[in-house]
Structure 1
Amino acid sequence: MPAADPAHTPPEIRNTNGDAAVIDITRAGRRHTSQGRWMDMGDPAGSEPDAPDPGSADPQETLAALAERFEETLNEYRLSLTDDKVSTTFLVTLQIVSGMLDGARAQGVVDEAQYTKLNAMVKGMISAARLV
């Protein structure tokens, strides 16, 4: 395309029920992971064929492995939890997620058992991040 050609106008965004431009998610179906399976929050623990036994590992080893995975992932973006700003941002994000879980429980999106499991995961992430 020569530099003199005009740019194409993007398609008009669909508005639904109001003035804000939104993405129509009413047609979205059930999504699957790359392995082709999906585990709903209501499924019993361990129903996924390769789900690990949660009581099989030492909690400290699990936290250390999780901390290592966080650091590896951040390193892919040239970031590190050893950087105070990155660490603070990570922990604040987890506090936001924790607040979102509180709201989900209050609104009945997750039940008490689901909330307990998810909240424990977030608390574990906070503990793991502090190991770096």
Structure 2
Amino acid sequence: MSAEPVHQDQDRTGASQEAPGSVLPFRRRPRRGVGPQPRKAAAPAPELSPHQQLAALIEAAFNGVDRTLRDDRTATDFRATIGVVRTMVDGARARSIITDQQHTELDAMLEGMLSAPAMLA
């Protein structure tokens, strides 16, 4: 297969004429009176604590399904769900699926998650 140049016939305005095998040119049109705009420096984001970062991550997940932890009902449902997960983690420790140290780490993470709604208020 070889590459062959495609020829276009143009009228006096520069528009290409419809012809078999012709290609429509895509040209950038120059902006009139507008030069490149300097980018504004973004305001530095405040440093977030690890708990604030976690709260923002959880809130983003809820926002992805059109919910927010700022809503009392959603926050209550969230806390109840974390409670169920904690019960499962407790059961995993009781059945020796996880060690005491792993349980402590997981429980601390879940505790941190429970603070998310309060951090967003």
TM > 0.5 fold call: yes
Tell which has more relative contact order, 1 or 2 (C-alpha 8 A, sep 6+). 2
Sequence identity percentage: 35
Match of 1:54 in 2: none
Instruction: State the match for 1:88 in structure 2.
Output: 76
Q: Indicate the residue corresponding to 2:88 in structure 1.
A: 100
Structure 1 gaps of 5+ residues are 1-57
Residue 128 (structure 1) aligned with residue 116 (structure 2): yes
Counterpart for residue 114 of structure 1: 102
CA contact 1:66–1:125 (8 Å) conserved in 2: yes
Query: How far apart in 1 are the matches of 2:64 and 2:116?
Result: 18
Equivalenced residues, count:
74
CA distance in 2, matches of 1:123, 1:111: 18
Aligned 8 A contact 1:64 1:131 in 2 = yes
Deviation at 1:131, TM superposition (A): 0.9
Q: CA RMSD in A?
A: 1.6
Residue of structure 2 equivalent to 1:61: 49
Q: Which runs of no fewer than 5 residues in structure 2 stay unpaired?
A: 1-46
Bigger Cα Rg: 2
Contact preservation (8 Å) 1:105, 1:115: yes
The aligned runs of 1:6-25 (5 Å cut-off) are none
Deviations 1:33-73 (A, max 9, x none): xxxxxxxxxxxxxxxxxxxxxxxxx9x70011111111111
Q: TM (normalized to structure 1)?
A: 0.53
**What TM-score comes out, normalization by structure 2 length?**
0.57
